[in-house]
Structure 1
Amino acid sequence: MKQLKYYLIVIALLIVAVKVCGDQAEKEPENLYTEQRESHDAARSRGEHTESQEKNKKRQAENTSDKLEIPAPMANGDEMILKRKAYTTSYNPSTKLPNWVAWHLTANHVDGDHSRGGMKFHEDEDVPEPRATDNDYKGSGYDRGHMCPSGDNKWDADAQWESFYFTNACPQHHGLNRGDWNEMEQQCRKWARQMGDIYIVCGPILYKGPHKTIGENQVVVPEAFFKVVLCMRGTPKAIGFIYRNTDGNRPKGDYVNTVDQVERITGLDFFPALPDDVETKVEAEAKLDDWY
């Protein structure tokens, strides 16, 4: 009788162990990302530094002046430089938007196991309040539009997580976010695969105000967006694109501009780390056919 009880207890324990393991294995990506976010939030509420914050602190001390994708410091404008694992952001506390987001996209970075799953955008506590929150976007009619896209960050879990900071997002028209802007993001990944690597800078364009805002924190709604792309493989070349923040379904060629033209519109100085003669040449030309 005692032996039977012993076997029954062992069987019961095995059933419980299998159930627990099965529950862990069957968790959806959204639940896993929720746990990751709750872990970050809990640590911050206790006044502790998360691993991500510590990594960010180390990145802030790094010199980025020799990185080809980094624009020159802004002469007139608010900016906080935020260095992430996969990208660098110039953040504007006044608009609650990035001035620009820059990254080096390689062929090795366009694929990976760390897809967005059910990941949601989250506040960036490395910037002061007031700052963009999820409530600002709710009911606004605008998408949370990635600048450095989730699809460029499947290569690493931390990179994917950091791509969902609101400091890497802007209020974007749904038709643009899911349409032509998304098509250009996919095209950049194709170019990275074909050419080995490319350098990308993108961000909002704010024409003379007043500007529309959303939410309690008054996040500014951009009138347009820019993207500039540089390739140094073979003969160096660069190209720029400008998209109105509206719906649209147009050929890529309709959005093409030279990098010089994008600089005149945005007031930014792109690719300053290039030799002057190379910078002058590539920024004056915009031939879409050269990229195919």
Structure 2
Amino acid sequence: MIPFRFSILDAIRLIACLWFVAANTGFAAEYRVAHCLKGCPIEMNAGNQLIARAIYALSFNSDRGAADWLAYRMRPGALGIATSLSRDWVDDSDLPGLEQTIAVQDQSAEALGLIRARLIPLVSVAATPYWHEANLLSASTLRTVNLDRGAWSGLEWSLRNLVNRRGDVYVVTGPIYGPEPDTSHEPATAETDLPVAFFKLVATQSGALSVFRFDQAFGVYLHHCEARSTLAEIETETGLQFFPDWERAEFGRETLDTQLGCR
């Protein structure tokens, strides 16, 4: 028999990523991804690959060559200074061939004025030993410079202030490709695999929720509060069901808008 080897690093990573909840009968068990508050998003594309890492979880859509969503928990102790950290993109060994797909996407993106950007900000995980996971190509997307350095950056700054004042919050973010989700399951083309917008959901254990939707053309001079949206709108556009284990009647009664600088 070949011995099973499980390193200490593997153990730490598994504990960081997963909760194990034993069922009451037999050997049945349920696995929950700790980065996803009240369950990871439920999606229509059953072929997606769920990847759980130390600082986030994501659902990778191989047809598009990009993540449909990425979930992470923001903690005061994880925030840090990223000035000295590398920002070089890193190929993902879990997804062979992704680097070539990314190269094709970047060729199309350059002509449209898009840049490769992170779904999880480096500064939000800079104080962890796993900050390099934010540089993996599977956790990247294509955004306009104005959005990335404008309202998107402003919301990230407000989020860090909120976490420093209040404590942990959970974030789910990802691309939007059109007013309705694509159910064709056909491989994406250079024209269809570019996001037209992005969503960011910010929630707490108590059920407070704020929802934002940013068009790629969102003006650099606009405040992130002008991008507020509703959970229903984002679910309609993406085909995702967020926070599936939460009773809707108990969820979202309160928002974090005021604490994020919105009136």
Aligned to 2:42: 73
Identify which of 225, 233, 238 aligns with 1:253: 225
Q: From the superposition, tell whether residues 83 and 169 of structure 1 become closer, same or farther in structure 2 (CA, over 3 Å).
A: same
User: Taking CA–CA contacts closer than 8 Å with sequence separation of 6 or more, which of the two structures ends up with the larger relative contact order?
Assistant: 2
3-state DSSP of counterpart to 1:104: strand
Q: Contact (CA 8 Å) 1:89, 1:98: kept in 2 or not? A: yes
Deviation string 1:59-98 (CA, Å, 9 cap, x unpaired) is 7876225641643331345411111111001110010111
- Higher gyration radius (CA): 1
Q: From the superposition, tell whether residues 58 and 231 of structure 1 become closer, same or farther in structure 2 (CA, over 3 Å).
A: closer
3-state DSSP of counterpart to 1:175: helix
Aligned to 2:239: 267
Q: For structure 1, list consecutive stretches of 5 or more residues without a partner in the other structure.
A: 1-49
Count matched residues.
233
Q: From the superposition, tell whether residues 61 and 288 of structure 1 become closer, same or farther in structure 2 (CA, over 3 Å).
A: closer
Report the identity percentage: 19
Q: Contact (CA 8 Å) 1:93, 1:128: kept in 2 or not? A: no
Q: Contact (CA 8 Å) 1:225, 1:245: kept in 2 or not? A: yes
**Alignment map for 1:55-66 (pairs within 5 Å):** 63-64=31-32
Aligned to 1:162: 133
Identify which of 92, 97, 101 aligns with 1:129: 97
3-state DSSP of counterpart to 1:213: coil
3-state DSSP of counterpart to 2:135: coil
Ranges of 4+ aligned residues in structure 1 off by more than 4 Å: 50-62, 208-212
Q: From the superposition, tell whether residues 61 and 188 of structure 1 become closer, same or farther in structure 2 (CA, over 3 Å).
A: closer
Q: For structure 2, list consecutive stretches of 5 or more residues without a partner in the other structure.
A: 1-6, 20-30
Alignment RMSD (CA, Å)? 3.3
The two structures have a TM-score, normalised by structure 1, of: 0.68
Q: From the superposition, tell whether residues 79 and 56 of structure 1 become closer, same or farther in structure 2 (CA, over 3 Å).
A: farther
Q: From the superposition, tell whether residues 125 and 200 of structure 1 become closer, same or farther in structure 2 (CA, over 3 Å).
A: same
3-state DSSP of counterpart to 1:220: coil
3-state DSSP of counterpart to 1:102: strand
Q: Which has the higher helix share?
A: 1
